[in-house]
Chain A
């Protein structure tokens, strides 16, 4: 379902409301989250020629779910006005050495927020 916009000029009061309240980016899904805190997951290897919030440096890497943030509108489809495709977002922790190899500090980690469509079970 393509995203339609109002195409109306933003008034001063609309701008003030947007500044104060922001954009609604939460969504609703009847499905349970695919993953739980503690699950070990792999960021998918994929190379869409369109918009994605899954950066290359985590693709194919193994991480751990540390938080289930809830259901959000999917930017990868919103960026192309294709639809909201609401789904769960997770904070995923990757060891720095998993991402960058043995030269990275052994203690260091990286957290990134990934969507259901970005992840697969290992």
Chain B
């Protein structure tokens, strides 16, 4: 991440000054700002995407609709929203590993995964994901074998992307809700695989 060249307190003061002017001039409403912050801090997040993935894992028809037309299949779950207006869902398989990036800014499916993490917005990720995706994935602990195709998706236009990760082994008996709990944000961007459920501690050797 870039280092800030101004002290944080200077930036915070500048923001406070701009906020007070915009409120005073009737350009922004403080209640609206609170609504926006609350939405992204408390309501919108990767749990939305995890619901989509878990449903696709247990419902083959849904999965087919999701991969054919992500936007309408996601709308079935009422998970539409800003910066997720038009969704494409790409499936990881034993032969293909998908990775999402936005090199020009940091476009990301906000309504499905929340606001992006710092690493997704970093210059390192934006510059390197397209030219050396395998090295980037190694930094996340993922070694993709040479015979697996890596597909990088640069989401530079209005389409937003979601990775449908592979369902881990040992999850045959799990409910849709339990499956959703296993799905991580990074797995839906393509920088992680979904780990199998932890074995019950009583079975530990």
Measured CB to CB, the residues of A under 8 A from B are 9-12, 14-16, 18-26, 53-55, 57, 69, 72-73, 75, 89, 91, 96, 99-100, 104-105, 107-115
Is the pair A105, B86 in contact by a Cβ cutoff of 8 Å?
no
Is the pair B149, A19 in contact by a Cβ cutoff of 8 Å?
no
Is the pair A105, B146 in contact by a Cβ cutoff of 8 Å?
yes
Whole-angstrom distance between the Cβ of A93 and the nearest chain B Cβ? 8
Q: Which residue of A has the minimal Cβ distance to B101?
A: A110
How many A-B contacts are there with CB distance less than 8 Å? 116
Q: Which residue of B has the minimal Cβ distance to A21?
A: B80
Which of A11, A19, A26 is in CB contact (< 8 Å) with B44?
A19
A47 to B104, CA, bound (A): 15
Q: With an 8 A cutoff between CB atoms, is B19 at the interface?
A: no
Measured CB to CB, the residues of B under 8 A from A are 26-29, 31-32, 35-36, 39, 44, 80-86, 88, 103-104, 111, 130-131, 133-134, 146-159
For this complex, 26 residue pairs linking A to B, each with C-beta atoms less than 8 Å apart, are A9-B29, A11-B29, A11-B32, A12-B29, A12-B32, A15-B32, A15-B35, A19-B82, A20-B80, A20-B81, A22-B82, A22-B83, A23-B85, A53-B157, A57-B131, A100-B131, A104-B131, A105-B150, A111-B151, A111-B152, A111-B154, A112-B153, A112-B156, A113-B155, A113-B156, A115-B157
Whole-angstrom distance between the Cβ of B151 and the nearest chain A Cβ? 5
